[in-house]
Amino acid sequence: MPQGLGGPSARHQRPAPLSADARYARQVVMPTIGEAGQALISDSRVVVIGLGGLGTPAATYLAGAGVGELRLVDYDTVSLSNLHRQFLYREDDVGQPKAEVAAERLRAYNPAIQVNTHTQRLSDALFATLLPDAQIVLDCTDNFPTRFAINAACARFGVPLVLGAGIGSTGQLGVFRHDRKDSGCYRCLFDESGEVAEACEDAGVFGPLVGMIGAWQAFESLRLLIGESPAHSSWLHFAPETRTIRHHQIPQDPACPCHV
User: Please, are residues 63 and 113 in contact by the beta-carbon 8 Å criterion?
Assistant: yes
- Residues sharing a CB contact under 8 Å with residue 25, sequence separation 6 or more, in sequence order: none
Q: How far is CA 122 from the centre of its chain?
A: 16
The chain-wide mean pLDDT, for the chain, equals 89
> Is 200 annotated in the active site?
yes
Q: How far apart are the first and last CA of the chain?
A: 78
pLDDT of residue 73: 98
pLDDT of residue 141: 96
- How does pLDDT run across 164-195, given as a tens digit for each residue? 998 777 899 999 999 998 999 999 999 886 55
- Amino acid type, 231: A
pLDDT at 95: 97
Kindly report which listed range (18-22, 72-76, 212-216, 246-250) carries the lowest average pLDDT score: 18-22
Higher pLDDT, 2 or 216: 216
User: pLDDT for 51-84, tens place per residue?
Assistant: 999 999 999 999 999 999 999 999 999 999 999 9
User: What global pTM score does this model have?
Assistant: 0.89
Q: Which of 140, 154, 185, 200 is catalytic?
A: 200
Cα 238 from Cα 172, distance rounded (Å): 6
pLDDT score for 203: 58
Q: What is the dihedral of CA 45, 56, 150, 204, to 10 degrees?
A: 170
Superfamily of domain 35-259: NAD(P)-binding Rossmann-like Domain (3.40.50.720)
In this predicted structure, what is the pLDDT of residue 208? 85
